């Protein structure tokens, strides 16, 4: 689904982890080792990092998933058709925040209330954890998502409060970290 979300957002070239890389990893029959074709080592490494980051001793993110049962999907017991990836952060002015990093429902399952149900469950997590709000980004061109969020009370901080999002790439982080 990550790859499908990237395609939907026209950002496929920025995804390191791919399903092909996942499928390319095979358990070795002796000692539980993993063998990976050389060309897929980087992708598989990214997949392992994704697993560690989300399911390791100190998870950096959490996920909610929506699944459809076997009778609606032929290849597996269930199939994940939507997800929300989120983490917690803190703002000294307003306290705890839930940050929604990625939210996606497969096209053929949109309009069935799945996205609303995921967002409802995510809101319950935020309330239970005493978060003051939920923050997220939406691409300017993504009018369907903007309408979806606004119908649920979201406000656009870029137009209402004038905030601008910045990033510092890893090469500049390394450069600043090395400065004396």
**Enclosing domain of residue 31:** 1-57
Choosing from 61, 109, 149, 172, which is the catalytic residue?
Answer: 149
Q: Does a structural domain hold residue 16?
A: yes
Q: Is residue 112 exposed (0-12), middle (13-18) or buried (19+ Cβ within 10 Å)?
A: middle
What total of structural domains would you count in the chain? Answer: 1
Helices marked H in the chain — which ranges?
Answer: 2-8, 19-24, 41-55, 114-128, 143-151, 157-160, 170-178
149 classed as catalytic = yes
Residues 6+ apart with CB under 8 A from 122: 64, 84, 86, 98, 100, 134
**Residue 52 belongs to a domain:** yes
Decide if 21 is inside a domain: yes
Tell me the per-residue pLDDT of 81-138, one tens digit each, with 9 for 90 and over. Answer: 999 999 999 999 999 999 999 999 999 999 999 999 999 999 999 999 999 999 999 9
Tell me the whole-structure pTM to 2 decimals.
0.72
């Amino acid at each position: 689904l990550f790859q499908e979300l990237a395609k939907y957002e026209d950002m496929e070239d920025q995804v390191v982890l791919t399903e092909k890389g996942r499928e390319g990893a095979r358990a070795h029959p002796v000692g539980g080792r993993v063998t990976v074709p050389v060309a897929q080592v980087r992708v598989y490494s990214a997949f392992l990092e994704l697993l560690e980051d989300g399911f390791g001793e100190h998870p950096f993110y959490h996920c909610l998933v929506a699944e459809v049962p076997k009778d609606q999907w032929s290849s597996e017991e269930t199939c994940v058709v939507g997800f929300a990836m989120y983490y917690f952060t803190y703002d000294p002015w307003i306290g705890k925040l839930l940050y929604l990093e990625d939210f996606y429902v497969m096209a053929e399952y949109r309009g069935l209330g799945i996205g609303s149900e995921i967002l409802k469950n995510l809101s319950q997590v935020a309330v239970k954890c005493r978060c003051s709000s939920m923050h997220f980004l939406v691409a300017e061109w993504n009018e369907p998502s903007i309408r979806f969020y606004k119908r649920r009370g979201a406000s656009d901080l870029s137009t209402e409060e004038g905030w601008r999002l910045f990033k510092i790439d890893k090469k500049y982080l390394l450069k600043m970290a090395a400065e004396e």
